[in-house]
A and B are shown apart, each in its own frame.
Chain A
């Protein structure tokens, strides 16, 4: 019997648990020439803000050991252009579309959500309260339980569609933020966004990023992501989406075993544009070989003790 990879995030049914992480898959069709995007469980768009954003000064990416730093600064076309131009190409795709949104005030979050969520092609919203690369909003919101609750509550009022709240690892206690997001009305949580990081060129004595600090992603952050997921699993009962350094199907299974309902691959796309499909194939083979009929039987199945 072949495994059924279908999973649920609130009212949203995904055909498999593998999604693309915001900011690493553009507006969903840029990689269409490399593989059939409809094979994915879902795509998460680049963060959309009310107004278009040009992003931060250059340089805004740098490679580090088994990872990369970015300080893109939420460069995006803005909500109106997104709705007018970027949603149409997604119509024919047989995969869930989740739109990631952000704002510089709770008011702005609400306004973007109102514009975006109403559109039929949008299956869910992912609320980004965790971007380390902007001065207002972003990380400043996602590190404060009160503001987190307020932002989520405001977005919640705009839609009945599933609401995913994306958490930052750059906090002392992620469970406090997770609980606040659930209290605000989140149907699911995704974690983690990038880890605050930095690198310096010793010849010029300048930071590699123009904005000095940025967000670390890639294999280097996977252990951090797993630990944050592990803590969050114990604190809330909504479905969780694991993110951070997922490059292979083995990585994805680690997150599922710790308790993730779905996973997002981000930086992987830059390394291997077809990587997400390979993860789906790998999970399938693993389950078939082990006689696992349904992902729920391994989700959160981690045993105690060391390997």
Chain B
């Protein structure tokens, strides 16, 4: 938990509307675990005022970290125009990571939309543990897929779905996951994605007794558990997504709908 002057060394666009930033930030790279996030100050001025939270997408042994983000508003638009050499102020690593250790032989990683951002660091970490990995990746349009060749060559079993395009299944990722789930009794599931997908996942796993971890998102102000702004009900208790999560037991989350 620290403040870092992260130097942007590269920014590119792996898919339309989606940007990847690569920062030199050795401390952060060394200490981050999958599922954790960084609160980035997008400007030196006070408008936009608040930091923006982003999952750590990947870290590398050369002291760099990557974040992957979709341009959705003022903050991300400003970020997309940031040039290499500029230093951005990032607080992190924040939150609690996915638990990748344990007695399971197969990991089911499920990502929808920008859920791919934390999913890659999770996969990087799982690969080192020698577990077999099934990656269920759903996007709106198939031009949002990237790194598919690398994933395949790393031995990750890919299951793709898109609502538009012709890569993989035409539809939702949950469509292909549901009939397959019972094939992997000795497994652990990890899921990150938009709320409707998470709610559907929660219903689907009722009859599938493996542990499932979920990474949640909420609007954040402080990112460190002081403002009480990012509340969610988990297992009857009010928890803060930023400091008690963002990773929770999927079965215990109250999506409140």
Q: In the bound complex, what is the Cα–Cα distance between A26 and B228 (angstroms)?
A: 9
Does B49 make an interface contact (CB < 8 A)? yes
Cβ contacts under 8 Å, A68 to chain B: 49-50, 221
Pairwise interchain contact B41-A272, C-beta atoms closer than 8 A:
yes
Does A67 make an interface contact (CB < 8 A)? yes
Residue of A nearest to B243 (CB): A30
Pairwise interchain contact A270-B222, C-beta atoms closer than 8 A:
yes
| Most chain A CB neighbours (cut-off 10 Å) among B49, B51, B238 | B49
Q: In the bound complex, what is the Cα–Cα distance between A267 and B50 (angstroms)?
A: 9
Cβ contacts under 8 Å, A140 to chain B: none
- One digit per residue, 1 when the CB lies within 8 angstroms of any chain A CB and 0 when it does not, for chain B 42-82 equals 00001111110000000000000000000000000000000
Cβ contacts under 8 Å, B218 to chain A: 58-59
Interface size class of A (residues with CB under 8 A): 35 or more
Pairwise interchain contact A270-B227, C-beta atoms closer than 8 A:
yes
Q: Which of A34, A66, A67 has a CB less than 8 Å from the CB of B3? A: A34
Does A154 make an interface contact (CB < 8 A)? no
Cβ contacts under 8 Å, A61 to chain B: 219-221, 227, 229-230
Pairwise interchain contact A70-B229, C-beta atoms closer than 8 A:
yes
Given A55-B238, A62-B219, A274-B3: A31 touches B226 (CB 8 Å cut-off): yes
Pairwise interchain contact A72-B50, C-beta atoms closer than 8 A:
no
Cβ contacts under 8 Å, B49 to chain A: 63, 66-68, 218-219, 267, 270-271
**Nearest CB of chain B from residue A16's CB, rounded to whole Å:** 21
- One digit per residue, 1 when the CB lies within 8 angstroms of any chain B CB and 0 when it does not, for chain A 44-64 equals 001000000011001111110
Cβ contacts under 8 Å, B221 to chain A: 61, 68, 70, 267, 270
Does B231 make an interface contact (CB < 8 A)? yes
Cβ contacts under 8 Å, A38 to chain B: none
Pairwise interchain contact A72-B228, C-beta atoms closer than 8 A:
yes
Given A219-B49, A270-B50: A33 touches B231 (CB 8 Å cut-off): no
Pairwise interchain contact A30-B226, C-beta atoms closer than 8 A:
yes
Q: Which of A23, A58, A218 has a CB less than 8 Å from the CB of B232? A: A58
- One digit per residue, 1 when the CB lies within 8 angstroms of any chain A CB and 0 when it does not, for chain B 113-153 equals 00000000000000000000000000000000000000000
Does A145 make an interface contact (CB < 8 A)? no
Given A61-B221, A219-B49: A271 touches B41 (CB 8 Å cut-off): yes
Does A176 make an interface contact (CB < 8 A)? no
Given A273-B3, A274-B3: A218 touches B225 (CB 8 Å cut-off): no
Does B177 make an interface contact (CB < 8 A)? no
- One digit per residue, 1 when the CB lies within 8 angstroms of any chain A CB and 0 when it does not, for chain B 217-255 equals 011111111111111100000100000000000000000
Q: In the bound complex, what is the Cα–Cα distance between A63 and B224 (angstroms)?
A: 17
**Nearest CB of chain A from residue B232's CB, rounded to whole Å:** 7
Cβ contacts under 8 Å, B222 to chain A: 24, 269-270
- What is the interface of chain B, defined by CB distance below 8 A to chain A? 1-3, 41, 46-51, 89, 91, 218-232, 238, 256
